[in-house]
Amino acid sequence: MMASTPLRRASAAVAGLSALGLVSAACAPGSSSDSSAFPDRNIEIVVPFAAGGPTDTVTRLVADPMADDLGVQMIVQNVEGAGGTVGAGQVANAGADGYTLLMHHIGMSTAPSLYDDLAYEPLEDFAPVGLVTEVPMTIIARDDLEADDLGELFSYLQENEGDVTLANAGVGSASHLCGRLIQQELGIELQEVPYDGAAPAIADVVGGQVDVLCDQTTNTTGQIQAGEVKAYAVTTPERVESLPDLPTTAEEGFAEVEVSVWHAIYAPADTPDEVIERLRESLAVAVENSSVIDQMASLGTAPVPVEDVEPAAVTALLTEQIDLWGDVLD
């Protein structure tokens, strides 16, 4: 299922809004509260998945230069559970002062289709700061699984449908979404094994306790390079430089299994505009930081172009993706 170029589409959408003069109106300072001293204490950034996983990794990479720029510490808090919805719900209800932020990914747009009782409204209960990165996914398995390429793996899944275990980081996580795309493509239902994050999920793939996982390069590159897991394909139209031998799903004949994982930072709704702008400035510094760029490259990804570090880019992409995944997942 095609969902691979959300940022390019979002940029186009934002360019369209700019042409209509709507972006500057949407971003114009609207709050009169005195936030000129912001920040005067440390900022907490909630990662809604387990420590050591891909969302945690991306967060810690950008938090350091943001903290340097802001002159306070950025404290990463892992609030895992229910595919990222527990942590997101916590931030939706936090003080609207810029001191509690959320790093979330594509799961922000899939949760409304997957949870009838979602405790927050992605487009209403958050004030977006900016886009951060878009991460390819990889399809991997325990290293003794008897399939040597993606075609063989998918045949194996079809032939052993009732027995194969498919790990994910909970309903609504990116790994869950990729797993759904694979099962839809093959017309099968595997035994899904939910974890609180992709870090514990991949640990069990390496240990052989679970068979298959589709997860982001920011979580799988090291294990693939070390030969600890079997790797079959990357889910983006192009190969990734850090894993040059890994074919794309399209090259292997499964172009429909195509997804990449966009990330954004959010504050609670009603956070003053000048606070959002100060946070946006620090995120813009982070995406242009050479160490962030190098470390992301070694993990198969890159920061977004600095012009996508802005609230309207997140809103445009989130709106589009809620619709897209509503059609796919309903």
Q: Which residues bind ligand ASP (CB under 6 A)?
A: 49-50, 53-56, 105, 107, 169, 173-175, 197-199, 215
Tokens of 6: 């959300």
The span from the CA of 299 to the CA of 324, in Å, is 27
CB 193, CB 170: distance < 8 Å: no
Closest distance of CB 219 from ligand ASP, Å: 7
Nearer to ligand ASP, 13 or 103 (CB): 103
Closest distance of CB 244 from ligand ASP, Å: 24
CB 166, CB 140: distance < 8 Å: no
CB 200, CB 228: distance < 8 Å: no
Greatest Cα-to-Cα distance within the chain, rounded to the nearest angstrom: 63
Nearer to ligand ASP, 4 or 271 (CB): 4
Closest distance of CB 41 from ligand ASP, Å: 27
Sign of CA dihedral 170, 298, 74, 286: negative
Residue of 131, 161, 166 whose CA lies nearest to 312: 131
Closest distance of CB 78 from ligand ASP, Å: 9
Q: Which residue is nearest to ligand ASP (CB)?
A: 53
Nearer to ligand ASP, 222 or 253 (CB): 222
Nearer to ligand ASP, 169 or 240 (CB): 169
Nearer to ligand ASP, 100 or 168 (CB): 168
Nearer to ligand ASP, 65 or 179 (CB): 179
Closest distance of CB 241 from ligand ASP, Å: 21
Between the alpha carbon of residue 121 and those of residues 113, 268, 272, 274, 294, the distances in Å are 12, 11, 19, 23, 35
Closest distance of CB 37 from ligand ASP, Å: 33
Nearer to ligand ASP, 166 or 174 (CB): 174
DSSP state of 257: S
Nearer to ligand ASP, 80 or 97 (CB): 80
Helices (H), the chain: 6-19, 22-27, 54-70, 85-92, 107-114, 150-159, 174-186, 198-207, 217-225, 273-287, 290-298, 311-329
**Taking the chain, what is the end-to-end CA distance rounded to the nearest angstrom?**
14
| Residue 89 φ then ψ, to 5° | -65, -35
Closest distance of CB 168 from ligand ASP, Å: 6
The span from the CA of 100 to the CA of 243, in Å, is 35
Closest distance of CB 296 from ligand ASP, Å: 15
